[in-house]
Amino acid sequence: MPTHTQHHMAIPLIPLHSMLFKALLMCLGLFCLTTTVSRADSTRLYQMQAQDKGFRLVEKQVTLPEPGNGQVLVRVHAVSLNRRDVYMLQGSYPAGNLDGRVPLSDGAGAVIAVGPGVSRFKLGDRVAGTFFTHWIDGKVSLEALGSARGGQVDGMLAEQILADEDSLVSIPAHLSFEEAATLPCAGVTAWNALFKSTQLQAGEYVLLEGTGGVSILGLQFAVAAGAKPIITSSSNAKLDRARKLGAVATINYKTDPDWEKAVRTATNDAGVDHVLEVGGKDTLPKAFASLAFGGHIAIIGLLSGFPTEVPAGMLMQRGASISGIYVGSRADFEAMNAFISAHKIKPVVDKVFSFEDTDKAFKYMDEGKLFGKVVIKM
């Protein structure tokens, strides 16, 4: 009988650390170690460095470790600024020792490495960081309050960040990274002010003070919900833009200093059902005077300082309520994103700066010229 010679194909040995070897094992379903896509060995970021008064921004180059259990590495594509960030740099925000801290709470990017045990995200997923890394759902806790990005823990002003998967959310598919980066602080704050601390209904009046990030996102949320937003500003050009976004009435508080009377006129003297209060002691009395029976004021910002007293008698007489809003949980972020997706809301990005022009972005934010949000593209 003829003999048959068996031919064996030689398989070259591949080093264990080879990306090709990892890819082969992944195809066979055998790979359970950290998975990555192309990433830089080091990343650029900014840190706050203490000086005589406040802090200055210093660019650094650092190496990030591989993601550990439950962690992912995110390539940050865009970050946005809030008034809080300016106060921190000026040294006027109570957030403990900020020397060496990476600033900014808000940012969005894509997952480029996944550690073992990660189940919520995969490579390439588009994500945003939550404001509080340890507030997932329910009531806020002391632990959650101690996990604010850009304050108690490092923030988003870095080309890459290592993050627990639980501190991230998926971003709406119709948004760019620049648009999604506007949401973690201002968006969730406006959402909670209108839909969690109270329940905004179609046809109700909403008063929005100024044209910063919270107020403009609040305006967009109110319009999407079928409510009737009224907005104030010292700029007629900004008020024109607000009307194009759906404001039913606009008031210039410089030319009309008794603007609470104009608010009541715009509502046929009924008053507003909801107020997003960002001004503090100078605007709160006028907000109360603008309020309808059963209305609600959400205290969000204190640009003019802390009010020394709250008119309890007026609250009782009008059956009104007041709440303090400090952003929200991951569950709140996800609920807001579902609303944004359903209504195809596009956050307003006023101006985009480069990573190299970060100082200019902070200056622009401090000047108060913005309409909506200021973004840094990474």
Domains of the chain: 35-182+348-377 (3.90.180.10), 198-324 (3.40.50.720)
HEC sequence for 66-80: CCCCCEEEEEEEEEE
CB 296 within 8 A of CB 320: yes
Q: Determine the Cα–Cα distance for residues 205 and 290; give it in Å rounded to an integer.
A: 11
CB 21 within 8 A of CB 12: no
Q: Determine the Cα–Cα distance for residues 288 and 311; give it in Å rounded to an integer.
A: 8
Beta strands in 2-70 (DSSP E): 35-36, 43-50, 55-62
Rounded mean pLDDT for each run of 10 residues along the chain, 378 residues in total: 41 40 38 52 94 95 94 98 95 89 98 98 98 97 96 97 98 98 98 96 97 97 98 97 98 97 98 92 88 95 58 79 94 98 98 98 95 97
Q: What angle do CA 44, 172, 117 make, to 5 degrees?
A: 65
Of the candidates 24, 163, 23, the one whose C-alpha atom is nearest the C-alpha of residue 105 is 163
Residues 6+ apart with CB under 8 A from 142: none
Report the pLDDT value the prediction gives residue 22, as an integer from 0 to 100: 41
- Backbone CA torsion sign across 227, 342, 334, 104: negative
Report the pLDDT value the prediction gives residue 314, as an integer from 0 to 100: 74
Q: Determine the Cα–Cα distance for residues 8 and 188; give it in Å rounded to an integer.
A: 62
Q: 43-50 and 55-62 as β-strands: parallel, antiparallel, unpaired? A: antiparallel
Classify residue 222 by its DSSP letter.
H
- Backbone CA torsion sign across 51, 351, 207, 204: negative
Report the pLDDT value the prediction gives residue 315, as an integer from 0 to 100: 78
Of the candidates 232, 284, 275, the one whose C-alpha atom is nearest the C-alpha of residue 253 is 232
Question: What is the pTM assigned to this prediction?
Answer: 0.88
Report the pLDDT value the prediction gives residue 129, as an integer from 0 to 100: 98
Report the pLDDT value the prediction gives residue 35, as an integer from 0 to 100: 60
Backbone angles phi and psi of 247, in degrees to 5: -65, 130
